[in-house]
Amino acid sequence: MDFELTETEQAFREEVRNFLEEHLPPKDQRGPGFLGSWLEKVRERGWVGFSWPAEFGGSDGGLIEQAILKEEMALAKAPPLGSSFMGLAWVGPGIMRYGTQEQKQRFIPDILDSKVIWCTGYSEPNHGSDLAAIQCKAVKTGDHYLVNGQKIWTSGAPWAQWIILLVRTQFDVEVKHQGITCLLVPMDSPGIEVRPIENMAGDRHFAEIFFTDVKVPIENRLGEEGDGWQVTVSALANERSSIGEVTQMFETLDRLKTLVKQTTRQGKPASEDPLVRRRLAVFETRIAAMKYNGLRYLTRQIKGEPLSSETSVNKLLRASLEIELADFAIELSGPAGLELRGSDHAVDGGSWAKSSLNWPNVVIGGGTPNIQRNIISERILGQPKD
């Protein structure tokens, strides 16, 4: 396999680097108006939805260039390319794959222009891993569905304007994956109540959502009635792929190496301790494995194959690495490593302590490690079903 970039791809990398040098100030110099002007500039440049069809406002760009773009943005610690992470990562791709022409024209430009924030309503109080067993109900009545039920752990729900919602439209089914339908619902619809939940890091980014007789027009259905599971499997593959992206892990590892250089162990620089060096080498090797595995997905996508179960591999690797990197940084730093931002003793602005508390984002969000292992075992390795 040839990992070298072509001249055109290399030139694109240079173009992105030059843009970043010119338009991305260091983090501490980004004022209040920075994000808005950043979003406008990257949009003007055609870098939001870079590989999406030009017909809907994308740039028809190549997948390798898109990967280069993401990599350079992550290395430069640039803000996201759009205001809706979920809109860009899986709602938009889902609409482009399963949506009607009218839905594509209606929803895609707003995602690209950062005019709308999406959230994802899959999990319910009793159905998270066992997602296909959802009970939130939608009944077709005239020209709309009437939705009743509850969702939970919906990230971004306190501020999102739209939700991609999974509901059950049929209860008498042979297998639970049937009878599920996907709806696109405005969050300000009458009958929706959002109750934010505070996580252990003190953030209130997810919520419970209650639906009482919420009217959703039939034209807001994504895909056919009863085919929502198919839409979800594809969206989940995109979600897991985005969680499993590797550049950020290299960046975290660099921060860890800097911490090692600044730390002493038993009177000697920690960087001279063979055990510390070994740990760093193992981390680096595992992250490199993620990188090459990610290139496999890219190769498949270039061949026109949609993302599928293989995205569970990097999702699983990232989940364990994220925890282990933060734990190791805290172990090196001693008690100060546990201090959060705001404390005089916080190490690296409390970022390791925060990562250590925020592990559910990458470990549980998008499906737990056990579920990823089940998927890898059954769908990739062909083992008997759980």
| Active site members | 239
CB nearer to ligand FAD: pick between 148 and 155: 155
Examine residue 79 and tell whether it contacts ligand FAD (CB under 6 A). Answer: no
Residue closer to ligand FAD by CB (options 303, 385) is 385
Q: Where are the beta strands (DSSP E) in 259-314?
A: 264-265, 268-269
CB of 385 to ligand FAD, least distance (A): 10
370 is a contact residue toward ligand FAD (CB under 6 A):
yes
Give 262 or 377: the residue with its C-beta nearer to ligand FAD: 377
In the structure encoding, which two tokens stand for residue 281, read together?
A: 């080498």
Question: Contact between 93 and ligand FAD (CB under 6 A)?
Answer: no
Cβ contact 231:182 at 8 Å:
yes
Of 83, 120, 169, 181, the one binding ligand FAD (CB under 6 A) is 120
Could you tell me which residues come within 8 angstroms of residue 278 by beta carbon, excluding any fewer than 6 positions away? none
Residue from 364, 376, 377, 378 binding ligand FAD (CB under 6 A): 364
Instruction: Please state whether beta strands 137-141 and 144-155 pair in parallel, antiparallel, or not at all (unpaired).
Output: antiparallel
In the list 8, 129, 170, 264, the residue contacting ligand FAD (rule: CB under 6 A) is 129
Triad 153, 156, 159: Cα angle to 5°: 130
What does residue 148 show for φ and ψ, rounded to 5 degrees? -135, 135
* Nearest CA-CA partner of 237 in 89, 57, 81, 108: 89
Does 365 bind ligand FAD (CB under 6 A)? Our answer is yes
Distance CA 325, CA 289 (A): 16
| CA proximity to 81, closest of 56, 53, 58 | 58
Q: How far is the CB of 86 from ligand FAD (least distance, A)?
A: 7
Q: Per CB under 6 A, does 92 bind ligand FAD? A: no
Any contact of residue 10 with ligand FAD (CB under 6 A)? Answer: no
Among 206, 211, 283, 328, binds ligand FAD (CB under 6 A): 206
Asked if 103 interacts with ligand FAD (CB under 6 A), we say no
- Residue closer to ligand FAD (CB basis): 123 or 169: 123
The reply to whether 154 sits near ligand FAD by the rule CB under 6 A is: yes
Instruction: Identify which range of 47-55, 285-293, 315-323, 365-373 contacts ligand FAD by CB under 6 A.
Output: 365-373
Q: Which residue is nearest to ligand FAD (CB)?
A: 128
108/302 Cα distance (integer angstroms): 22
Q: 82-94 burial by CB neighbour count: b if 16+ within 10 A, else e?
A: bbbbbbbbbbbbb
Compute the least distance from the CB of residue 165 to ligand FAD, in Å.
Answer: 9
Q: Which residues of 273-287 are buried (b: 16+ CB within 10 A; e: fewer)?
A: beebeebbeebeebb
Q: Where along the sequence are the contacts to ligand FAD (CB under 6 A)?
A: 119-123, 128-129, 153-155, 206, 360-361, 364-365, 367-368, 370-371, 374, 386
